[in-house]
Amino acid sequence: MSDKRAQEQGSWGQERLEQRTFLFLLLLVTVLFFFLLKPFFGAVFWACVVGLLFAPLQQRLSHRWGQRTNLAALATLAICVAIGIIPALFVLGSFFQEGASLYQKLQSGDLDPGEQLERLRAAFPFMERLLARFNLDLGGLKSQLTEAAIAASRILAQNALRLGQNALQGVVNLGLMLYLAFYMLRDGRELVALLARALPLGDEREALLFGKFAEVTRATVKGNLVVAAVQGALGGIIFWLLDIHAPLLWGVVMALLSLIPMIGAGLIWAPVALYLFAIGNWGQGVILASFGVGVIGLVDNLLRPLLVGRDTKLPDYLVLFSTLGGFALFGMNGFVIGPLLAALFVAFWEIFIREFNPAPAAAAVAEEQRDGGH
CA 127 and chain centroid, separation = 36
Which residue intervals of 199-315 are DSSP H helices?
Answer: 203-241, 247-257, 266-278, 282-291, 297-304, 310-312
> What sign has the CA pseudo-torsion 59, 64, 70, 76?
negative
Closest CA to 298 of 270, 272, 262: 262
Is the per-residue pLDDT at 157 higher than 60?
Answer: no
Q: How confident is the model at residue 359 (pLDDT cuts 50, 70, 90)?
A: low
Q: Residue 4: its pLDDT value, please?
A: 61
Distance from C-alpha of 285 to C-alpha of 51, rounded to nearest angstrom: 44
Mean pLDDT, all residues of the chain: 76
CB 320 within 8 A of CB 182: no
* pLDDT tens track for 282-320: 888 888 888 888 888 888 777 777 776 666 677 777 877
Q: What is the mean pLDDT of residues 265-281?
A: 80
Q: Binning pLDDT at 50, 70 and 90, where does residue 253 land?
A: confident
Length of the chain: 374
CA distances from residue 74 to 71, 175, 180, 188, 367 in whole angstroms, order as listed:
5, 14, 12, 14, 55
**More confident of the two residues 178 and 103:** 178
Count other Cβ atoms within 10 Å, centred on residue 44: 18
Helix (H) and strand (E) counts for the chain?
17, 0
Q: Which band of pLDDT confidence, cut at 50, 70 and 90, is reported for residue 162?
A: low
Query: What is the average pLDDT across 98-125?
Result: 61
201, 209 Cβ separation under 8 angstroms:
yes
DSSP 202: -
Give the pTM. 0.68
Question: What pLDDT is stored for residue 37 in this prediction?
Answer: 87
Round to whole Å and give the CA distance between 26 and 38.
Answer: 18
Contacts of 142 (CB under 8 A, 6+ apart): 113, 114, 117, 118
What DSSP assignment string belongs to 318-372?
HHHHHHHHHHHHHGGGHHHHHHHHHHHHHHHHHHHHHHHS--HHHHHHHHHHHHH
Q: Where are the alpha helices (DSSP H) in 38-112?
A: 41-64, 69-80, 86-108
